[in-house]
Structure 1
Amino acid sequence: MKIHLLFDIAEGNVLRLKQQHQHQVQAMVYSLLDREYAHFLHTEGFVYDGKRHFKLFCFSKLRGNGAIKQEKNFVLIHPPIKLTITSPINPILEQLANNALSLQKIRLGNNLLKCNGVTLENPQVKSEEITVQTLSPIVCYSTLKKYDGSNFTHYHTPHDKEFSEQIHANLAKKFTLINHERREPAKTVTIEKLGRIRETIRFFSPEDTRPIKGWDGNFRLTGPQELLQTALDAGLGVKNSAGFGCVDLIE
């Protein structure tokens, strides 16, 4: 399930953010949750096999009226401003929608916004093959060892077989967390790019020194309907709660 939040500028006429503003959008999303639930998601979340922690929500890039403009180290986004958030957990979306509409002012970085509307969508997977477009980049990586024993992050591309393998493994874990009493589907999800895709390099915040690499474009997913539905609701790949892997179904 997904919601679309529509914002206007409470003070001023344009949204002004630093180039690297992912952490600020994430902070705004958490601020729209009830305090205790936000603390639970941020510090623990949904735990898989006692080790892996999932937040089970993801969000899109910010979209405005017209093209996003660049100004030195900042981006300018003209209202109305749209943010899409997806989750298979209904309380997350309910809290986000209710609190966004009830608050007079919502802080995003140094900007104050006002939520003018919320729309709800519940796209349903009806076959074992779907086409999606990214609303935020898909990220897949492995943590490997250097010769000196230190770790480094290797980001996979959609051309790597590990990309598809990790997409499936990640979806299977999310499915298990969402559906406690249901057995994981036996078939495997595969993903392939459609047409031209774009590599996106981002820093989560200005303080980060290690870039996050992801992929934008259209993709075809093939596999069990339950896992494809999980992809729509919980996101593809990793770092979903940091604003990566949000996808939209192309009918």
Structure 2
Amino acid sequence: MRLYIKARLIEGYIPVHYNYYLQSFFYKSFPGKVRKDIHDSGVRLGPRKFKMFTFSRVYGDFERRGDRLYYKDYVYFAFSSALSKLVKYVYERVNAEPQFNIGKAKLEVDKMAMREFDKELAKRGSFYTLSPVVVTKKTGDTSNYYFPHQLEYTYLLQMNAKRKVLALTGKALKTDIEVRFDNWKRAVVRYKGTRVEGARGKLKVRGPLTALKVVYEAGLGVKNSQGFGMLEYEGVSIRGVLGE
């Protein structure tokens, strides 16, 4: 399930590297016990923990001044989860408390829309990124970032998707997803001061519907709950869903 939000800027600014602030906003929308369970454990698969949610970048017209983004009027963003209850919690919180903060910006919700996974659009296999796709592999104490031009990239995405599906459903995928970027650019974001690198652009993702649903709702790649790996169907936009 996915929630799209349009909010009016009342005052202030959003920091350039705002992922942590937006993530905190979503976590605060969850009831206390749910928040702790998702943050501490998520959905487990052996030693791995999957939060099973992701979110987009913040879109809208803005002016950048140093490390601050001054949005002119409205901002648009989306929250998605393979655990539908999390989407409902965010909707209920924002509906009950329409004014909220992201960093130093005070905002008021103007419009929201929820959508379910669309099988027919997913079958087409054409997507673009709403937030960068991050792929890493740990060697000793070092995590290396991988990009679409590297041989291991698709394999690492496939393994990550398989683990998410197994953790959620208890069933192993028999067929891998196939991921191919048509064009991409490197994106660099700082999360709590740490440099995170990913790829953004248009891509083809094909495979079993079970896997497509999981990567669409929970995110492709890693660090999804930090605001990475959110995909959208080609031809669909946040503003469009909201009737803009």
Asked if 1:198 is matched to 2:185, the reply is yes
Residue 162 of structure 1 is aligned with which of 143, 152, 159? 152
Aligned to 2:173: 185
Counterpart for residue 248 of structure 1: 232
Aligned partner letter, 1:3: L
| Structure of higher CA gyration radius | 1
- The number of equivalent residue pairs is 234
SS of residue matched to 1:92: helix
How far apart, CA to CA, are the structure 1 residues paired with 2:124 and 2:50? 25
CA deviations 1:51-71 (Å, max 9, x no partner) are 11111000000012x3x3210
5+ long unaligned stretches in structure 2 = 236-244
Match of 2:142 in 1: 152
| RMSD of aligned alpha carbons | 1.7
1:150-201 Cα shifts (integer Å, max 9, x gaps): x222111111221111111111111122223xx322111121111x311001
CA distance in 2, matches of 1:116, 1:38: 26
- Normalized per residue, the structure richer in helix is 2
TM-score by length of 2: 0.90
1:32 partner amino acid: S
Task: Decide whether the 8 Å contact of 1:33 with 1:92 is kept in 2.
Answer: yes
Contact 2:42 2:50 in 1 (8 A): yes
Which stretches of structure 1, 4 residues or longer, exceed 6 Å deviation after superposition? none
Are the counterparts in 1 of residues 43 and 168 from structure 2 also a CA contact under 8 Å? no
SS at match of 1:228: helix
TM-score (norm 1): 0.87
What is the DSSP-based 3-state SS (H/G/I as helix, E as strand, rest coil) of the residue aligned with 1:185?
coil
Distance in 2 (alpha carbons) for counterparts of 1:116 and 1:80:
9
Identical aligned pairs, as a percentage?
Answer: 18
Which 5+ residue runs of structure 1 have no aligned equivalent?
146-150
Aligned to 2:45: 48
Corresponding residue number in structure 2 for 1:229: 213
Alpha-carbon distance in 2 for matches of 1:230, 1:161:
24
For the residue of structure 2 that corresponds to 1:27, the secondary structure is helix
Pick closer, same or farther for the CA change 1:198–1:233 going to 2, 3 Å.
same
